């Protein structure tokens, strides 16, 4: 039987996944500037994301708009609890854009400042995204600005930073030649190890719920897939096919996101709002999903076209 609520939830989940995979990689490259002190190397890193970063952020706009239109009750609840952090995140995204776009024609001194801005802003965005996601997964009450902080949500924020750095390393390894590619390859394994350790720590913090989580249909498969792809990343880094490590890392992150969403389902906000309770009226869902059926393919085509046109190495 057709269930438009599940379809709406699937659309939001897909939009979230695309944002994390695409802009998460860009944020990883932004933070990665801290490990490349040479101005010319930083220029190459920025050049790899300069043509695509703004298109990748389109998925965040679709996610926010989709949440407002399809699940307005959840949007209102989350915005009420998270609005200071969301504002900080959006401001950091603006500063990151300044750091990326104005760097090319700036003086050496200003470039140094813009690089610091890009590094800091990217780290803030990544941490806040993980912090808020961890707060939702842990089912923390949204009754104060500081309610988002808990050992679980802070670790989730740290894991998000590590995961984005891993994606950034694999991206730079694919898109560049010479010293930047070699340095990114060397950094990828430590960031992979850090990501895995933080994910294990998150699971241990949920040890009381862990048997219940692992009993959910598909949960063990998702965890096994994430583990397998994590093991494949260092092997792929030795391959002559530079794209393989990025593919393995993206699939690892996809598996972990799927596991996270599976632990929350059928809730949108655990123990507060279910998907059914948070959903917009059926007529609204039908209208928005009709528009989404056009918006998502167009965005995918644009993203794919941009990546294809700019598929060459940055030298």
Tens digits of residue pLDDT in 178-196: 999 999 999 999 999 999 9
CA angle 175, 308, 302 (to 5 degrees): 120
pLDDT at residue number 2: 55
What value does the mean pLDDT take over residues 194-206? Answer: 95
Contact predicate 23/57, CB 8 Å: yes
Q: Mean of the per-residue pLDDT values for the chain?
A: 92
What pLDDT digit, counting tens, does each position of 264-290 carry?
Answer: 998 888 888 899 999 999 999 999 999
CA distance 81 to 269: 12
Residue 209: which of 270, 128, 141, 160 has the closest Cα?
270
Residue 127: which of 163, 81, 161 has the closest Cα?
161
- Single pTM value for the model: 0.95
Kindly tell me if the per-residue pLDDT of 1 is higher than 80: no
Kindly tell me if the per-residue pLDDT of 12 is higher than 90: yes
Residue 138: which of 208, 68, 60, 40 has the closest Cα?
208
């Amino acid at each position: 039987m057709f269930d438009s609520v599940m379809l709406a939830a699937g659309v939001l989940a897909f939009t979230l996944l695309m944002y994390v995979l695409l802009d998460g990689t860009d944020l990883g490259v932004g933070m990665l500037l801290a490990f490349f002190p040479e101005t010319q190397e930083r220029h190459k890193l920025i050049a790899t994301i300069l043509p695509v970063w703004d298109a990748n952020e389109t998925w965040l706009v679709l996610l926010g708009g989709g949440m407002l239109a399809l699940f307005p009750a959840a949007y209102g609840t989350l915005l009420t609890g998270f609005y200071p952090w969301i504002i900080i995140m959006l401001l950091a995204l603006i500063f990151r854009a300044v750091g990326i776009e104005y760097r090319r024609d700036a003086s050496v001194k200003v470039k140094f400042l813009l690089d610091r801005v890009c590094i800091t802003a990217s780290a803030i965005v990544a941490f806040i995204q993980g912090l808020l996601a961890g707060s939702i997964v842990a089912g923390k009450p949204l009754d104060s600005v500081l309610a988002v902080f808990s050992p679980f949500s802070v670790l989730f924020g740290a894991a998000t930073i590590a995961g984005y750095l891993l994606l950034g390393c694999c991206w730079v390894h694919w898109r560049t030649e010479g010293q930047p590619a070699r340095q990114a390859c060397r950094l990828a394994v430590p960031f992979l190890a850090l990501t895995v350790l933080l994910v294990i720590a998150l699971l241990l913090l949920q040890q009381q719920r862990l048997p219940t989580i692992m009993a959910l249909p598909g949960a063990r498969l998702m965890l096994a897939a994430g583990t397998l792809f994590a093991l494949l990343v260092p092997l792929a880094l030795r391959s002559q096919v530079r794209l393989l490590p990025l593919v393995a890392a993206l699939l690892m992150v996809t598996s972990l996101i799927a596991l996270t969403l599976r632990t929350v389902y059928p809730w949108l906000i655990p123990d507060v709002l279910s998907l059914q309770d948070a959903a917009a009226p059926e007529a609204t869902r039908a209208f928005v999903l009709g528009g989404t059926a056009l918006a998502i393919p167009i965005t995918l085509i644009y993203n794919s076209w941009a990546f294809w046109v700019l598929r060459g190495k940055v030298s």
